[in-house]
């Protein structure tokens, strides 16, 4: 046998061995696919024909204490392309062109998303937050374009627009940073909406709910063949506030219609510390962040003023602070309530002359408070001393936060000789006189003044304000009590001190500068204030507390109108409207002008303290607002 033939036979044998080995490998692979791992590969093939579309759960609703839903949900639809099926560029371009008008989107933007879906083979969200108006046309187009799918969801809605907007907050899409820091257990996705501010943010975990999803079987062309599984969503928990709906509305409407449209109004329950109303103006409408994407909406800037003046604005309390001055004098024995002090319209402190807003003649505590006579309180403060006034401030927690569970609350500023002594600087007589009428370095927030009004009304209980009553789960029905009554401090003044303060404040309502809140059937106690403002028009204050005749006070409030010029004229009408709303008192049928004139007339006792040529308290208030030095009605 030749060498060539031997070599050929050897090569043939090698090739036959290799062929047998290759055949064996193929056979083993087929056995593995068809027998050993048949079920696993079958499931994998099934999954390749399955698309998952997630459904966002409805957020929990937010209710007022009287059961009005102020944050709820409305029907909304999302539109998906399943990413498989007809991938012809001409088909995709035609699809984008036909759907664009109904989605209110640019065809090129839709086409870009379709091409992304084709590339990834995954369900792609083309549009979300669609209104029911678009669904009919979109469902019809679905018949002609396999691979698209419409799914029902919900969107957040605020039925009363800017109602308690600074407290409720708003929602928006997650940022990249929020996505990185998300709680994986809550099932967030890249397009998830979350609370950005207020209650929406604070109670995000409770409000979010558990998302659902639709598992769809699709054919090779992307057409939906069947729903494999419809995993139902679970709505988030409902949050119940302590706010009174009518009272909050009255506060907001009053601020909106005020002279400047800027200010805050806070009402508390003096028996518990519950927040009955908290309004800050200007407000904003959180619906601008959750508008339907397919509707024609006016171009609105989403740059909003999140500054909550009720807890962040700090201003001198002006004449409302005269309650503290009177309390200090009564508590430390420096005031005879029947002793009259003559008011000639000014007070000579030695270094300078301090003016009063009027010439009141001889006045005692009740007429001094009723007419907000500065000279009376200058002399009382000079006799009592600034240290005693500072001690009473501290009893009511001036210069400290109220303790409400809201971010950004300002503490204001306590004003007294202690800090000056600590800093080794002088305290002058002028400082004491300014302190006595709530001016100088003294600063409070509207919430702090409301807390103070509630503390007077409760005879010394300084409560921590709270605004959420309970959270109710929509999944289990379980109720979690959130709000609780907590006394932060007790302003332990003598009972007779509180008795006299009540009498003086009632006198102020019955025939003085707070006459605007004199309401038949109610026991109302109040005090006005006009805070000097070196940067422009003065600010208006009104604080009050009230109860039905013969009953303990059930509401305490503070109203502040920025640049309002007069406490009685600017803040008084708002305070009155709030009391009428809270006690459900129908407004009189007489003209508003007549009613206002009647409410502002002082009693005979009050008139007797004024000289014949003097005008009403409100006239002097306006005079003061126009530049009268050192006055603080």
Q: Other CB atoms closer than 10 Å to residue 110's CB: what's the count?
A: 23
Q: What is the pLDDT of residue 621?
A: 39
Domain assignment present for residue 344? The answer is: yes
Q: Are residues 82 and 137 in the same domain?
A: yes
Q: Are residues 99 and 176 in the same domain?
A: yes
Considering just the CA atoms, what is the radius of gyration of the chain in Å? Answer: 36
Q: What is the pLDDT of residue 130?
A: 86
Q: Are residues 62 and 98 in the same domain?
A: yes
Q: Are residues 215 and 273 in the same domain?
A: no
Q: What is the CATH number of the domain that holds 532?
A: 3.40.710.10
Do 275 and 267 touch, CB atoms closer than 8 A?
A: yes
Six-digit token string for 95: 């699809």
Domain assignment present for residue 549? The answer is: yes
Q: Are residues 452 and 588 in the same domain?
A: yes
Domain assignment present for residue 20? The answer is: no
How far is Cα 177 from Cα 185, in angstroms, rounded to an integer? 17
Q: What is the CATH number of the domain that holds 73?
A: 3.90.1310.10
Q: What is the pLDDT of residue 187?
A: 77
Overall pTM surpassing 0.85 (yes/no): no
Domain assignment present for residue 439? The answer is: yes
Secondary structure class of 442 (helix, strand, coil)? coil
Q: What is the pLDDT of residue 350?
A: 85
Given 241, 273, 302, the domain boundary residue is: 241
| Domains of the chain: total | 2
Q: What is the pLDDT of residue 281?
A: 95
Closest to 106 in 3D by CA, of 120, 116, 93: 93
How far is Cα 404 from Cα 412, in angstroms, rounded to an integer? 14
Domain assignment present for residue 586? The answer is: yes
Look up tokens 């994407």; give the residue. Answer: 293
Q: Are residues 159 and 214 in the same domain?
A: yes
Contacts of 338-344 with C-beta under 8 Å, sequence gap 24+, read 338/364, 339/364, 340/364, 341/368, 341/375, 341/376, 341/379, 341/380, 342/375, 343/373, 343/375, 343/376, 344/375
Do 599 and 572 touch, CB atoms closer than 8 A?
A: no
Given 190, 217, 241, the domain boundary residue is: 241
Q: Is the dihedral of CA 500, 502, 505, 511 positive or negative?
A: negative
CA distances from 481 to 142, 335, 484 (A): 48, 46, 8
Give the bridge partners for 545, in sequence order.
Answer: 525, 556
> 66-79 burial, b for 16+ CB within 10 Å, e for fewer?
eebbbbbbeebbbb
In this structure, the strands spanning 62-63 and 238-241 are: parallel
Do 393 and 382 touch, CB atoms closer than 8 A?
A: no
Q: Are residues 395 and 509 in the same domain?
A: yes
Look up tokens 């009953």; give the residue. Answer: 551
Q: What is the pLDDT of residue 347?
A: 92
Q: Are residues 231 and 259 in the same domain?
A: no
Q: What is the pLDDT of residue 385?
A: 94
Q: Are residues 369 and 269 in the same domain?
A: yes
Domain assignment present for residue 591? The answer is: yes
Q: Are residues 321 and 184 in the same domain?
A: no
The parent domain of residue 557 ranges over 254-283+313-625
Domain assignment present for residue 9? The answer is: no
Q: Are residues 263 and 166 in the same domain?
A: no
Look up tokens 């609350």; give the residue. Answer: 409
Domain assignment present for residue 289? The answer is: no
Burial of 351 (C-beta count, 10 Å sphere; 0-12/13-18/19+): exposed
Q: pLDDT under 50 in the chain at which residues? A: 44, 47, 590-632
Do 328 and 407 touch, CB atoms closer than 8 A?
A: no
Q: Are residues 319 and 202 in the same domain?
A: no
How far is Cα 617 from Cα 623, in angstroms, rounded to an integer? 10
Q: What is the pLDDT of residue 89?
A: 85
């Amino acid at each position: 046998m030749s060498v060539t033939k031997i070599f050929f036979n050897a090569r043939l044998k090698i090739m036959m061995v290799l062929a047998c080995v290759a055949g064996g490998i193929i056979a083993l692979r087929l056995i593995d696919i068809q027998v050993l791992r048949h079920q696993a590969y079958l499931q994998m093939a099934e999954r390749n024909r399955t698309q998952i579309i997630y459904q966002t759960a409805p957020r929990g609703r937010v209710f007022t204490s009287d059961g009005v839903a102020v944050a709820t949900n409305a029907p909304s639809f999302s539109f998906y392309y399943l990413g498989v099926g007809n991938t012809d560029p001409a088909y995709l371009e035609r699809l984008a062109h036909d759907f664009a008008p109904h989605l209110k989107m640019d065809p090129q933007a839709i086409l870009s998303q379709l091409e992304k879906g084709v590339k990834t083979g995954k369900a792609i969200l083309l549009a979300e937050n669609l209104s029911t108006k678009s669904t009919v046309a979109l469902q019809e187009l679905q018949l002609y374009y396999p691979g698209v799918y419409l799914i029902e969801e919900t969107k957040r809605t605020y039925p009363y627009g800017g109602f308690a907007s600074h407290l409720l907050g708003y929602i928006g899409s997650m940022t990249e940073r929020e996505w990185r820091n998300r709680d994986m257990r809550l099932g967030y996705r890249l397009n998830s909406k979350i609370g950005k501010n207020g209650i929406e943010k604070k109670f995000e975990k409770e409000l979010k709910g558990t998302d659902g999803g639709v598992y769809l079987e699709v054919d090779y062309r992307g057409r939906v063949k069947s729903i494999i599984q419809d995993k139902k969503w679970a709505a988030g928990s409902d949050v119940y506030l302590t706010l009174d709906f009518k009272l909050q509305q009255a506060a907001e409407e009053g601020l909106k219609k005020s002279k400047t449209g800027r200010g805050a109004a806070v009402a508390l329950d003096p028996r518990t510390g519950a927040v009955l109303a908290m309004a800050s103006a200007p407000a904003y409408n959180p619906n601008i962040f959750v508008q339907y994407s397919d509707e024609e909406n006016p171009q609105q800037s989403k740059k909003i003023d999140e500054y909550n003046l009720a807890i962040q604005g700090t201003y001198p309390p002006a004449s409302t602070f005269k309650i503290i001055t009177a309390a200090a004098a009564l508590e430390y024995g420096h005031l005879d309530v029947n002793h009259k002090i003559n008011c000639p319209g000014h007070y000579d402190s030695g270094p300078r002359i301090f003016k009063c807003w009027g010439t009141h003649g001889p006045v005692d505590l009740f007429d001094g408070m009723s007419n907000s006579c500065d000279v009376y309180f200058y002399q009382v403060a000079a006799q009592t001393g600034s240290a005693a006034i500072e001690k009473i401030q501290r009893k009511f927690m001036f210069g400290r936060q109220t303790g409400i569970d809201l971010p950004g609350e300002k503490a204001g500023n306590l004003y007294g000789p202690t800090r000056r002594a600590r800093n080794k600087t002088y305290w002058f007589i002028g400082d004491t006189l300014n302190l006595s009428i709530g001016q100088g370095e003294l600063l409070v927030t509207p919430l702090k003044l409301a807390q103070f009004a509630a503390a007077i009304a409760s005879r010394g209980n300084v409560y921590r304000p709270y605004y959420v009553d309970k959270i109710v789960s929509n999944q289990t029905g379980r109720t979690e009590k959130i709000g609780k009554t907590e006394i932060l401090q007790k302003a332990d003044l003598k009972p007779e001190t509180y008795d006299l303060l009540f009498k003086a404040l009632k006198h102020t309502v019955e025939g003085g500068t707070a006459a605007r809140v004199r309401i038949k059937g109610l026991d109302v106690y109040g005090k006005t204030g006009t805070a000097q403002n070196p940067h422009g028009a003065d600010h208006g204050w009104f604080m009050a507390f009230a109860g039905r005749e013969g009953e303990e006070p059930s509401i305490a409030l503070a109203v502040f109108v920025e640049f309002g010029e007069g406490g009685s004229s600017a803040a008084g009408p708002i305070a009155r409207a709030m009391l009428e709303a809270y006690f459900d008192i129908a407004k009189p049928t007489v003209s508003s002008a007549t009613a206002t004139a009647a409410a502002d007339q002082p009693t005979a006792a009050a008139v007797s303290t004024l000289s014949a040529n003097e005008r009403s308290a409100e006239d002097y208030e306006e005079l003061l607002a126009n530049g009268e030095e050192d006055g603080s009605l």
